[in-house]
């Protein structure tokens, strides 16, 4: 059988594949820091060269920011788009790294081999799993079992400023039946997953102003309204005693998950204690009556991400400040409109202001939640391929975070995305000593090889 030969080729080529990944990992493609602009461009060129060598029609495309890499495989079959990003996070604090973040090495961690370097997991290692799967198919059969377009971004870690304009300008070239995004993780050790719902986000920055200038609390303490007190009162009331968000209308259009999805999530036997213990927590602190997976995947939330006001340095200054500030973000689910939430939040805050206090709001930044339509057969194909490769069965899961590109694919290109990846919770992405399990890399390549094989039959 062809697939067996392809998988055998993946196994035989693993060391060489790791070498190729390391070549990419040696390039410090930190997109947020202009000092590394040349390295970001270099990483793009390495990928385009590699893809051209593989038989793709690949090129580096300039943008007003960092370049995109677009590669077309002119093979036959269903058309799919693969997305990954070749830029990486900064490495600060460098002194917490045990070695040079851009000198990749294979080493043991918890008794298993890992690839250690910045970007090993996020996202160079992950994107290379797909390219290596294509390489194995090409090596064995001389072609790909599907029409594959590869789209690699160099600005994912710096806000993707060029992504939407580029997608709009090249919609015809990028549009496919479905997209694959390899930037997520396993559900648990040995258990793969496809993320089918992603929460959206609404970010609010709020300033409460009381007195026009900072006051001395000796002179004015007791008679003047303190904006920290006002802000604390507002934020303390953001959740009710059952953990529900109190902004009017917040839950108006929030759907319950389907019975099927609920059943499938229940089967995951998510261990909230095991999830919380590594970060020093024991009790799920979300909405009463909701399962832990609902709390992080399907229920909207409100969090205060930052608060500041008055004197915050060493020692004491008995100031009664003029202003107090908070950054509040809402994780949104399908059905919630960021703009309407902003209006409701603003009105809710203003209704609570005592005399002499005003509230101002920074321009709010919002993106709606994504909910994939899983009816395209590629979802089932991928689920089966992943289940065949890994010890555990794959499941459709939710994701608490936001992956904006999935929303843009839907909005601009009308494609649903299959979000499948092989990262682990302890990969330390965005942190010192990032790693990617060799098993993730190896089984990841084999997973995509199986997916590609499945596409041909689908």
Cβ(444)–Cβ(129) below 8 Å: yes
Q: Is 317 in the site for its own copies (CB under 8 A)?
A: yes
Q: Which of 305, 292, 307, 173 is nearest to 232 (CA)?
A: 307
Q: List the structure tokens of 435.
A: 């790693």
| Closest CB to its own copies among residues 111, 315 | 315
User: Of the ranges 58-66, 119-127, 203-211, 388-396, which one interacts with its own copies (CB under 8 A)?
Assistant: 203-211
Burial class (CB in 10 A: 0-12, 13-18, 19+), 290: middle
Choice from 26, 61, 143, 327 touching its own copies (CB under 8 A): 327
Rounded CA separation 29/240 (Å): 45
Residue 400 CB contacts under 8 Å (≥ 6 apart), including other chains:
199, 296, 297, 331
User: Of the ranges 12-20, 49-57, 315-323, 446-454, which one interacts with its own copies (CB under 8 A)?
Assistant: 315-323
Q: How far is the CB of 277 from its own copies (least distance, A)?
A: 10
Q: Is 80 in the site for its own copies (CB under 8 A)?
A: no
Q: How far is the CB of 233 from its own copies (least distance, A)?
A: 4
Q: Hunting for tokens 């203003």 — which residue is that?
A: 350
What part of residues 99-158 is at the interface with its own copies (CB under 8 A)?
Answer: none
Q: Is 360 in the site for its own copies (CB under 8 A)?
A: no
What part of residues 204-223 is at the interface with its own copies (CB under 8 A)?
Answer: 205, 210-213, 215-223
Q: Is 40 in the site for its own copies (CB under 8 A)?
A: no
Q: How far is the CB of 20 from its own copies (least distance, A)?
A: 30
| Closest CB to its own copies among residues 395, 399 | 399
Rounded CA separation 50/134 (Å): 11
Q: Is 361 in the site for its own copies (CB under 8 A)?
A: no
Q: Which of 2, 9, 5, 16 is nearest to 128 (CA)?
A: 16
Q: Hunting for tokens 């290596």 — which residue is that?
A: 132
Give the containing element (helix H, strand E) for 215. Answer: strand 215-216
Residue 339 CB contacts under 8 Å (≥ 6 apart), including other chains:
366
- Phi and psi at 48, nearest 5°, equal -65, -40
Interface with its own copies (CB under 8 A), residue total: 78
Q: Which of 360, 355, 299 is nearest to 325 (CA)?
A: 360
Cβ(83)–Cβ(179) below 8 Å: yes
Q: Is 355 in the site for its own copies (CB under 8 A)?
A: yes
What part of residues 237-296 is at the interface with its own copies (CB under 8 A)?
Answer: 237-239, 272, 275-276, 279-287, 292, 295-296
| Closest CB to its own copies among residues 63, 217 | 217
Contact characters 400-419, its own copies, x per CB under 8 A? xxx-----------------
Q: How far is the CB of 212 from its own copies (least distance, A)?
A: 3
Choice from 35, 236, 260, 274 touching its own copies (CB under 8 A): 236
Choice from 24, 51, 208, 228 touching its own copies (CB under 8 A): 228
Q: Is 334 in the site for its own copies (CB under 8 A)?
A: no
């Amino acid at each position: 059988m062809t697939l067996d030969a392809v998988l055998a080729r993946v196994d035989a080529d693993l060391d060489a594949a790791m070498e190729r990944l390391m070549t990419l990992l040696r390039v410090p493609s930190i997109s947020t820091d202009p000092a590394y602009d040349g390295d970001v461009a270099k990483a793009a060129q390495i990928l385009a060269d590699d893809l051209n060598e593989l038989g793709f029609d690949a090129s580096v495309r300039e943008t007003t920011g960092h370049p995109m890499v677009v590669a077309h495989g002119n093979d036959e079959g269903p058309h799919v788009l693969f997305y990954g990003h070749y830029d990486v996070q900064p490495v600060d604090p460098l002194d917490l790294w045990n070695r040079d973040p851009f000198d990749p090495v294979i080493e043991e961690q918890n008794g298993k081999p890992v690839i250690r370097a910045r970007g090993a997991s996020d996202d160079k290692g992950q994107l290379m799993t797909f390219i290596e799967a294509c390489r194995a198919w090409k090596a064995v059969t001389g072609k790909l079992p599907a029409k594959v377009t590869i789209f690699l971004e160099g600005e994912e870690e710096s806000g993707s400023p060029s992504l939407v304009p580029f997608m709009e300008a090249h919609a015809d070239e990028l549009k496919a039946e479905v997209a694959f995004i390899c930037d997520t993780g396993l559900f648990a050790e040995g258990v793969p997953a496809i993320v089918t719902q992603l929460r959206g986000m609404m970010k609010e920055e709020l300033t409460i102003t009381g007195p026009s200038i900072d006051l001395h609390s000796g002179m004015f303490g007791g008679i003047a309204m303190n904006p920290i007190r006002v802000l604390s009162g507002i934020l303390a009331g953001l959740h009710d005693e059952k953990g529900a968000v109190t902004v009017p209308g917040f839950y108006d259009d929030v759907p319950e998950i389907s019975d099927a999805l609920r059943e499938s999530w229940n089967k995951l036997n998510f261990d909230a204690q095991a999830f919380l213990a590594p970060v020093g927590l024991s009790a799920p602190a979300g909405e009463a009556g909701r399962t832990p997976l609902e709390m992080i995947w399907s229920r909207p939330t409100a969090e205060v991400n930052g608060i500041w006001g008055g004197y915050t340095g060493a020692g004491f200054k008995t100031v009664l400040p003029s202003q107090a500030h908070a950054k509040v973000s809402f994780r949104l689910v399908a059905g919630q409109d960021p703009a309407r939430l902003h209006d409701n939040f603003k009105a809710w805050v203003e209704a609570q202001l005592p005399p002499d206090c005003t509230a101002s709001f920074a321009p709010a930044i919002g993106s709606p939640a994504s909910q994939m339509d899983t009816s395209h057969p590629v979802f089932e194909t991928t689920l089966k391929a992943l289940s065949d490769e890994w010890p555990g069965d794959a499941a459709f899961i939710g994701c608490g975070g936001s992956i904006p590109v999935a929303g843009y694919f839907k909005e601009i290109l009308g494609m649903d995305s299959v979000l499948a990846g092989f990262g682990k919770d302890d990969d330390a992405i965005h942190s010192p000593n990032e790693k990617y399990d060799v098993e993730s890399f190896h089984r990841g390549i084999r997973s995509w090889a199986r997916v590609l094989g499945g596409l041909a039959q689908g």
